[in-house]
Amino acid sequence: MDTIQKIVTQDSARDIVNSWKKDGLRVVFTNGCFDILHAGHVQYLEAARNAGDRLVLGVNSDASVRQLKGEQRPVVQEEDRCRVLAALQSVDLVTVFDEDTPQELIELLLPNVLVKGADWAVENIVGAKTVMEHGGEVKTIRFLEGRSTTGVIEKVLARCKT
């Protein structure tokens, strides 16, 4: 699938996910802001993709990122974040959500596997209950140590001051 074709509306994502599941494919879902893509994101997404046959990303909209991270974020606008994420081999589908959490999107897609970072306890992962009630599973993945968007931003700012 072409990079641009991987970026779809939530309704299209639902239809595609349903088609994949009818074909017997295991659909994995994860979400995040993915502002300033770095090696930690890439490692995390590759590990998430390895949990199934297809990986769907829910990407926080610009408004959602501002709500969660503050007015200075995101650094990279939503359209560009989606384009870069869709270009990754591990990513099969990208869709944007405006809410603070992906709960509604998870309810719409009902993935077979929900993945989040290992810094989350399963019982605190948004959508975990929904996925498990529909026969799915929840997995956590360890982050690549020392990699974060906030860390990248802090390093750039520190170097600009010198």
Q: Kindly write down the DSSP assignment for every residue of 44-91, as one continuous string.
A: HHHHHHTTSSEEEEEEE-HHHHHHHH-TT--SS-HHHHHHHHHTSTT-
Question: Rounded to two decimals, what is the model's pTM?
Answer: 0.89
Position 76 scores a pLDDT of 94
Residues 80-93: pLDDT tens digits? Answer: 999 999 999 999 99
Per-residue pLDDT of 97-147, as tens digits, reads: 999 999 999 999 999 999 998 888 889 999 999 999 999 999 999 875 655
How confident is residue 36, by pLDDT bands cut at 50, 70 and 90? confident
The topology under which CATH files domain 4-161 is Rossmann fold (3.40.50)
Question: Is the four-CA dihedral 70, 76, 114, 6 of positive or negative sign?
Answer: positive
